[in-house]
Amino acid sequence: MKNQRVVISYCLLLILTAWLLPGCGPQARKPVAGSARGQDMLTLLPADTSAFFVLDWQKLVNLKPIQTWLEQLKELETYQKKAEALPVDFKKDIYYLAVAVVGEMDKPAEGLVALANLKYQKDKLIPPGGGDQKPELKTYNGLSYLPMIEVEEKAIVCLAFLDSSNLAIGSEAAVKKVIDVYQGKTPHFLSNKNSRNLVKDLNTRAITFGWLTVPGDLLQSKLSQNPSLMPLSKVKYISSFSDYKNSTYLNEIKLYAEEKDNLKSIADILTGFKSLGLGLGAQPPELKEVLEAIEITTTEKYLKVFISLKEEQLQAITKLIKEKEKDQKNSRPQAGKNQT
């Protein structure tokens, strides 16, 4: 009887473990070229990052629509030989790209930084200087970076070599913050519980995903003259993702507000815009299909706007836009005409 209880307890433990582990998922770590995941890029960003956008480069360049588009892009042929001469193969060596604003959104230029997860050789990325001298590398906490654009002896754009898999490009102040995070001197974006909970709502396996902390006074000042849109000023965060599966484009935007009632008011506004668009009689059928495909739903935490478009639908929209541009161009009066 005792052995039977042990077996039953052990089985229950296995079942509980199997149920909990998938929910936990693998922890984020420093991104390594070739084995990194999207969420790993967030471990290079400071805890006070207010916006970021991550792109899975390999997924993007290997999409059939993208490959077809690149083959048809005649302008690309001009840069083909120049690209081949570069020390990085843009189709094979790059894995993830990210752009972020470190610190508050009120000074985005100072906090703007880009990250690249790739395979590269440091010596080949340093451009040759005048004569036999190469540009002088600077060091910060023992880690080297290259000032690329300097104004009045102040580095406006720098390139930091974090390790053999990761580069950081941005203002000197932003790059130094990333170096501090990389070396563990300051916490990264996922180090606090609030950020980890926010990222749980993100689809970090998608081709792109992003996050924005909305400045408190940004929408307030812009919407103050239109009381009917004031609920939009309650938006605190915005997240998004884009993906492509089974010849279908998937796009999602989530809005986070201070209270659930705020989300309901915002949903009413967006639903009203959708209904207004569908009610326009002169609307092309292609655009009506897009509007009808938009799903607007709310939960306890956020409002979600989701749309999925088939390949043929997007092609129809693209064709419609090109035709409208052509009509507008033809309708413009040509110089020299109608002049006596």
Asked if the structure places residue 339 within a domain, the reply is no
- On whether both 241 and 203 belong to a single domain, the answer is no
Residues 241 and 176 in one domain: no
**Is the alpha carbon torsion for 310, 311, 317, 320 positive or negative?**
negative
3-state secondary structure the chain: CHHHHHHHHHHHHHHHHHHHHHHHCCCCCCCCCCCCCHHHHHHHCECCEEEEEEEEHHHHHCCHHHHHHHHHCCCHHHHHHHHHHCCCCCCCCEEEEEEEEEECCCCHHHHEEEEEEECCCHHHHCCCCCCCCCCCCEEECCEEEEEEEEECCEEEEEEEEEECCEEEEECHHHHHHHHHHHCCCCCEHHHCHHHHHHHHCCCCCCCEEEEEECCCCHHHHHHCCCHHHHHHHHEEEEEEEEEEECCEEEEEEEEEECCHHHHHHHHHHHHHHHHHHHHCCCCCHHHHHHHHHCEEEECCCCEEEEEEEEHHHHHHHHHHHHHHHHHHHHHCCCCCCCCC
Instruction: Give the burial class of 129: count Cβ atoms within 10 A of its Cβ; 0-12 exposed, 13-18 middle, 19 or more buried.
Output: exposed
Q: Is residue 16 part of a domain?
A: no
Please report whether residue 39 resides in a domain: yes
Q: 224 to each of 26, 229, 232, how far by Cα in Å?
A: 44, 8, 11
pTM of the model: 0.82
Q: How far apart are CA 167 and CA 86, in angstroms?
A: 16
Residues 138 and 174 in one domain: yes
Do 220 and 280 lie in one domain? The reply is yes
Q: Is residue 43 part of a domain?
A: yes
Residues 195 and 220 in one domain: no
Query: Do 133 and 218 lie in a common domain?
Result: no
Residue 332 lies in a domain: no
Domain residues for the domain of 229 are: 214-323
Give pLDDT tens digits along the chain (340 positions). 555 554 445 444 444 433 333 334 467 799 999 999 999 999 999 999 999 999 999 999 998 888 877 777 655 666 565 555 567 888 899 999 999 999 887 776 778 999 999 999 888 887 665 545 556 889 999 999 988 876 666 667 899 999 999 999 999 999 999 999 999 999 999 998 888 888 888 999 999 999 999 887 777 777 777 888 888 888 999 999 999 998 899 999 999 998 888 999 999 999 998 888 887 766 788 888 888 999 999 999 999 999 999 988 888 888 888 887 777 777 766 545 555 4
Residues 128 and 42 in one domain: yes
Tally of domains in the chain: 2
In a domain, 15, yes or no: no
> Is residue 38 one of the residues assigned to a domain?
yes
Same domain? 51 vs 195: yes
**One domain for residues 313 and 166:** no
Residue 56 lies in a domain: yes
